Amino acid sequence: MDYSKLSDNKINAEVALHWLGRGNFGLMNGAVEKLGRIFEPCNNPADAWPIIVANRIALMPDASEHGAHQWWDAQSSCRAHGIQYQANPLRAAMICYLMMQESE
């Protein structure tokens, strides 16, 4: 699946299925809710960091030659899964996480 084409909310929901487990969260207006707060690993470091650390996902900045554009690469520790050119490093990491889950 090409996760890069999904919205942040859809990526958040897919991550929640794998990380939190089915039934441990709800959807409210397309956003993932857990225990009365929004679970948003694509945009909230507090939600993303435990996933990044537990799955040993590396984040690396990548810039054009003139520094005009900056992207983020996210890669699994075994280098079998990765995505390039995401403007948001947390989103890149969550896409990498989903790719890792898909291969299991």
Residue 69's pLDDT is 63
Which CATH number characterizes residue 75's domain?
A: 3.30.2120
Residue 65's pLDDT is 67
Domain that holds residue 13: 3-103
pLDDT along the chain (104 residues), means of 10: 92 94 82 88 96 93 68 72 76 92 82
Q: Could you tell me where the beta strands, DSSP code E, fall in the chain?
A: 26-28, 31-34, 37-38, 57-63, 70-76, 82-86
* Number of domains comprising the chain: 1
53 vs 99: CA distance, rounded Å: 16
Residues ≥6 apart with Cβ < 8 Å to 36:
none
- CA distances for 98 relative to 25, 67, 68, 69, angstroms: 18, 29, 29, 25
Could you tell me the pTM of the whole model? 0.83
